[in-house]
């Protein structure tokens, strides 16, 4: 009995420390965002006396975070929608349709996973500039789709490979075309995986700085994370306002995870347990 209790403590203590290390930055940022500049200079680690929303309101209106938030929302929504559409179609085709070159195409997607963006950012930027897509919403959306599509195709192919072949055969016997099988059967069955992949891609796009900075150089078209990064230079002497910008950027991600954490876990494990 004593050995079992000791083993529990061995696991519980590191997990508690990890949880504290994860939660503390968010708590510290929230506390700083509620302080005045004077309070922060006097003691940055003390707890604020009262909740003050002036810094958040200032970051949202005066600094332009509302515009950055809208830019990120539009770009992330369009990017994730296209990634789920193309990724699910490609995943179904590679998992359940046999055609010449399908194996080579799948290997190409796998190989693309190992190519860092820094390798392709110069030619990508040049192509986008030549086609007039730099500093436009479509340009950034296409850049995100190109960057994260291999990951999406890989996960959707893995998921659809677990669906029994009899399901597809029965749908074809009922008179469905290949697109009919995808639209009526495979797409609804893939909802758990689509939710997981969609949330992960949304986090990738939302937290991105490098691609957005290259594709959206003007201040008007900045995404939220680029806007937060720029605040560090503009408000180096007003850390509470900077912390407010960080808080604005972090809250949507936290809310999405809190509401969809079960769907994320189910989708990630579905490919390994289904079928």
Question: How far, in Å, CA of 209 to CA of 225, rounded?
Answer: 6
Question: How far, in Å, CA of 38 to CA of 236, rounded?
Answer: 14
Task: Return the structure tokens found at 244.
Answer: 């407010």
Question: How far, in Å, CA of 67 to CA of 219, rounded?
Answer: 10
Query: Which of 273, 268, 275, 274 is CA-nearest to residue 155?
Result: 268
Question: How far, in Å, CA of 45 to CA of 213, rounded?
Answer: 32
DSSP 8-state class, residue 62: T
The answer to whether residues 86 and 236 touch, using CB atoms and an 8 Å cutoff, is no
The answer to whether residues 94 and 106 touch, using CB atoms and an 8 Å cutoff, is yes
Query: Which of 185, 189, 190 is CA-nearest to residue 152?
Result: 190
Question: How far, in Å, CA of 152 to CA of 108, rounded?
Answer: 13
Question: What pTM did the predictor assign?
Answer: 0.86
Residue 43 burial (C-beta neighbours within 10 Å; 0-12, 13-18, 19+): exposed
Q: Output 164-169 pairs: Cβ under 8 A, ≥24 positions apart.
A: 164/275, 165/96, 168/96
Per-residue pLDDT of the chain (275 residues; tens, 9 = 90+): 555 667 777 777 888 888 888 888 888 888 888 888 888 888 888 888 777 788 888 888 877 788 999 999 999 999 999 999 999 999 999 998 878 888 899 999 999 999 988 899 999 999 999 999 999 999 999 999 999 999 999 999 989 998 888 888 888 888 888 899 999 999 999 888 898 899 889 989 999 999 999 999 887 888 999 888 877 766 666 788 888 888 888 888 888 888 877 766 665 665 454 44
């Amino acid at each position: 009995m004593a050995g079992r209790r000791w083993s529990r403590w061995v696991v519980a203590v590191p997990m508690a420390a990890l949880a504290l290390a994860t939660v503390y930055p968010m708590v510290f940022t929230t506390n700083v965002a509620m302080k005045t500049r004077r309070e922060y200079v006097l003691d940055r680690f003390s707890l604020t006396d009262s909740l003050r929303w002036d810094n958040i309101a200032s970051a949202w209106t005066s600094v332009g975070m509302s515009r950055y938030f809208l830019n990120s929302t539009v770009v992330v929504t369009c990017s994730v929608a296209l990634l789920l559409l193309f990724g699910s179609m490609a995943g179904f085709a590679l998992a359940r349709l046999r055609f010449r070159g399908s194996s080579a195409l799948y290997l190409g997607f796998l190989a693309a996973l190992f190519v860092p963006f820094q390798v392709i950012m110069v030619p990508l930027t040049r192509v986008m500039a030549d086609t007039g897509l730099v500093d436009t919403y479509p340009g950034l959306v296409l850049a995100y789709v190109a960057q994260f599509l291999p990951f999406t195709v890989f996960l959707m192919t893995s998921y659809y490979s677990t669906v029994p072949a009899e399901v597809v055969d029965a749908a074809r016997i009922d008179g469905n075309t290949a697109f009919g099988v995808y639209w009526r059967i495979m797409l609804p069955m893939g909802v758990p995986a689509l939710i997981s992949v969609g949330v992960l891609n949304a986090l990738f796009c939302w937290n991105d700085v490098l691609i957005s900075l290259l594709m959206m150089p003007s201040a008007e078209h900045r995404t939220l994370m680029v806007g937060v990064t720029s605040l560090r230079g503009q408000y180096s002497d007003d850390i509470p306002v900077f912390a407010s910008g960080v808080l604005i950027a972090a809250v949507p991600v936290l809310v999405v995870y809190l509401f969809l954490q079960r769907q994320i876990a189910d989708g990630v494990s579905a490919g390994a347990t289904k079928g």
